[in-house]
Amino acid sequence: MLDLTAGGAPLAYEHVPEQFNIVPLLIDRHLDDGRGARPAIVTPDRVVSYAELAAGVARAAGLLARLGVQREQRVALLLPDGVEFACLFFGAMRAGMVPVPLSTLGAAEEYDYALRDSRAVVLVTDRRHYDRVAAVWRGVGTLRACLVAGEAPEGTVALDAAWAAEPPHAAPAPTHRDDMAYWLYSSGTTGRPKAVVHLHHDMLFCVEPYVRRVLALGPDDRTFAVPRLFFSYGLTSCLYLPLWVGASTILVAERPDPAAVFALWRTLRPTVFFSVPTSFAALLREAETAPPEVTSLRLCVSAGEPLPAPLHARWVARMGVELLDGLGATEVGYIYISNRPGAVRPGASGQLLPGYRARILDADGREVPPGGVGELWVAGESLAAGYWNKHAKTREAFVGEWFRTGDRYRVDGDGYYFFQGRADDLLRVGANWVSPLEVEGCLLEHPAVAECAVVGARDGDGLEKPRAFVVPRGAGPAEGLEESLRAHARARLAPFKVPRWITVVPALPKTATGKVQRFRLREG
């Protein structure tokens, strides 16, 4: 098995043996070290030990093999967060197959596309989500079987009975370190999603530095995340990170609303909590009327979109728990730029983690001078192999050893990276660049603002000006809010950065993973 210490040197690609399957490193290792009785997965109604998880993973691997799934063939998972998801996900990888989690928030047409695009040979779902794929899965020519947890409809395989009938031991497939391990469909705000292809060695190189240099995660920790397991952020936060160190993870089937999050904090007592800025804002609003129990928490982590400095300040002031913002990407595997405990710089994504290299380039591919703004490129061993069946998009995004993030950043003298918008989000106003994030941060400092988003809009002369969409806090009247916000902005921003239009809305349009869909605001 891989020696994680590597003689004290940082983990490197050459340390990974050519024959390598990541699942024994995440699960079997803890049994070999005598930790089989320790809790691996905690749900509201059960606790699953590492020994029980290992048996469930082995049974899943055996079941998929018995159904005729071959090495490198895809297994689509349309499952809620829970023990079944973890066992089927790691079971497929253990057997050398490729799990492909699908969003539980999708529509039939989206599932039809993903099943055909991935050429999945088995679909695993539960009774609740089966109705969403019932009309499409039989028409996908590559699918051999549909397994359903709970009551299985006619023509499907009852997952519970079939899974329980398999032996609790299965040798891991002799996969290569560069074999496909899992796919995730990206949650882009426009166009068809892209299947991001990750290899067996990838997760070693994003999990190890984050666990060691940021979280200091240990066996006594318990992770909990609002983002779901079909989302890269949730998958790594609640499976890869805790299993890496023999810790435990809290999994709940439903995406918890703020009241449910607070209840789970109180009853299941996580030590590290992961979510997105939109969620942290909602939790703060809930805390105004129902202060939560936070004594178990030692750290909170934000990613998925930039965390505005005012929101960070409000969180720390009310909750008293450190909140670390970070930048990650599905293509990179996880967070690769992060703030560290005791060294948070509000408004910054943080500093580059060991094992990664970054550069900031202008439109002509030249590095920008210190403090300049350009597109962020990143390199590291955790980068995905590319996009499945998307040759042109792969060549555009993956350039040699580098991944073009599409994010515009500047880096200060201390190595802190500051988000300046997406490559197509920066506004050109009167020959000046305007960062929507800067304007949003200003508006969020106003006590009446819960959330906001700034996009570009055209005036009567066809010139681009900032337009703000604002979600007010509480149920107070919106009368006079527009002028109050404009005065607030004028006092803090250069004139060309002050929003020309301010629109009060009940909510911002978002993707299933909580990212603001700015293209919809531009169209509105």
Residue closest to 280 by CA, chosen among 441, 512, 514, 44: 514
Indicate the SS3 state at residue 266: helix
- Determine the Cα–Cα distance for residues 360 and 412; give it in Å rounded to an integer: 12
Q: Is residue 72 within 8 Å of 180, Cβ to Cβ?
A: yes
Residue closest to 326 by CA, chosen among 374, 371, 272, 366: 272
Question: What is the DSSP track for 77-101?
Answer: EE--SSHHHHHHHHHHHHTT-EEEE
- Determine the Cα–Cα distance for residues 323 and 294; give it in Å rounded to an integer: 13
Q: Which helix (H) or strand (E) holds 480?
A: none
- Give 204-422's CATH code, choosing from 3.30.70.890, 3.40.50.12780, 2.40.50.140, 3.40.50.1000: 3.40.50.12780
- Determine the Cα–Cα distance for residues 79 and 89; give it in Å rounded to an integer: 10
Torsion angle (degrees, nearest 10) of CA 136, 141, 143, 146 = 40
So where are the chain's domains? 16-199, 204-422, 427-523
| Residue ranges for the chain with pLDDT beneath 50 | 6, 188-190
433-472 pLDDT, tens per residue?
788 988 999 999 999 999 999 999 988 877 788 999 999 9
Residue closest to 300 by CA, chosen among 237, 239, 356: 237
H runs (alpha helix) in 13-134: 22-26, 28-32, 50-66, 83-94, 108-118, 127-133
Q: What is the CATH number of domain 427-523?
A: 3.30.300.30
490-510 pLDDT, tens per residue?
998 888 899 999 999 999 998
Q: Is residue 101 within 8 Å of 77, Cβ to Cβ?
A: yes
Q: Is residue 173 within 8 Å of 94, Cβ to Cβ?
A: yes
Per-residue pLDDT at 190: 44
Bridge partner residues of 504 (DSSP): 470
Residue with tokens 């063939």: 73
Q: What is the CATH number of domain 16-199?
A: 3.40.50.980
Question: What is the DSSP track for 397-455?
Answer: HEETTEEEEEEEEEE-TTSEEEEEEETTT-EEETTEEE-HHHHHHHHHTSTTEEEEEEE
Structure tokens at 195: 């299947």
Residue closest to 112 by CA, chosen among 139, 94, 90: 139
Q: Is residue 112 within 8 Å of 140, Cβ to Cβ?
A: yes
Per-residue pLDDT at 428: 74
What does the DSSP 8-state code read for residue 276? -
What does the DSSP 8-state code read for residue 332? T
Q: Is residue 511 within 8 Å of 189, Cβ to Cβ?
A: yes
- Determine the Cα–Cα distance for residues 464 and 363; give it in Å rounded to an integer: 20
Q: 16-199 and 204-422 share one CATH topology? A: yes
- Determine the Cα–Cα distance for residues 201 and 21; give it in Å rounded to an integer: 8
Torsion angle (degrees, nearest 10) of CA 365, 369, 371, 374 = -10
- The three-state (H, E, C) secondary structure of 386-411, written as one string: EECCCHHHHHHHEECCEEEEEEEEEE
